[in-house]
Chain A
């Protein structure tokens, strides 16, 4: 059964970009994010934040967290330095209140910016 609207948790959507030497798959990335968050804030912190990886296409992705925990999530993402021996770094592009906002404002804008110089 659905939670009634007044009891629903407030969420934030974090759009991020990943820089890595080799291709990273979705499962490996999410496991690493959980490990990093777990080692920083423990199981209680993990449960309060309710992390979820919503989409990831190999470079750009969106992760969901609780509204009050955006700084903690940023810190945990910043602490990731390698996934199974491959050096990576995660760049947070922006935080939005809706999935649509995160996609349009940050990811699509970056993609358009990347395309433009090729046209000239």
Chain B
């Protein structure tokens, strides 16, 4: 059995316009994904998405570090995936220390204290591979340096990792194998990449399902 036989999910997609969600869902299924999550957009009707494919909803929170805790508490029980885009150290610290957050995407400044807090509150670290696709030269070098550092901390403190393409159009989507190849650029092994695209997103989705009560307890 190949490593790439699991179910894959891309949890951060920015569709532009309502018609493009259906097209993206169709393309993503052809590329080998089982589900996607769209940011700050209403999930379309069941008829427009292909059968056997699921679309979830993300809420991206952007505010001042002081208000972050309230915002996360407000959306915590909505059943949607909460995403925060990484910023400076104060902001990252406020986000990983709040329980209920799911993904901290591409934090620029990350250290052992933040990694430990993220591990305790089960916040996943998101790696934004879309940046590697779009940027060239110095910009890409800087992003690779950040990712390498984040990977080191995530490995040491056992923080779960998420790979995402951060796609804005169908041309930004990549197959799971290509994502694994891109993650290899900053030292991730194929096994870790597969876990970051299937096991970790499934864990988040399980936590968000209505039957879930707490770790190890759920309604059957």
Contacts and interface: CB of A to CB of B under 8 A. Distances in A.
Given A39-B136, A75-B185, A81 B178 contact: no
B173 interface: yes
A50 interface: no
A117 to B, nearest CB: 14
Contacts of B182: 75, 78-79
A92 interface: yes
B132 A79 contact: yes
Given A81-B172, A89-B172, A91-B31, A39 B137 contact: yes
B174 interface: yes
The contact size tier of chain B is 20 to 34
A92 B170 contact: no
Q: Is the interface of B mostly helix, strand, loop or mixed?
A: helix
Interface string A74-89: 1101110100000111
A89 to B, nearest CB: 4
A41 B31 CA distance: 26
Minimum-distance CB pairs A-B, first 7: A74-B181, A78-B178, A75-B181, A89-B171, A87-B171, A71-B181, A78-B174
Interface of B: 31, 132-134, 136-137, 169-175, 177-182, 184-185
29 contacts: A19-B171, A39-B136, A39-B137, A40-B185, A71-B180, A72-B181, A74-B177, A74-B178, A75-B181, A75-B185, A77-B178, A78-B133, A78-B178, A78-B179, A78-B182, A79-B132, A79-B133, A79-B182, A81-B133, A81-B134, A87-B171, A88-B171, A89-B170, A89-B171, A89-B173, A89-B174, A91-B178, A92-B177, A92-B178
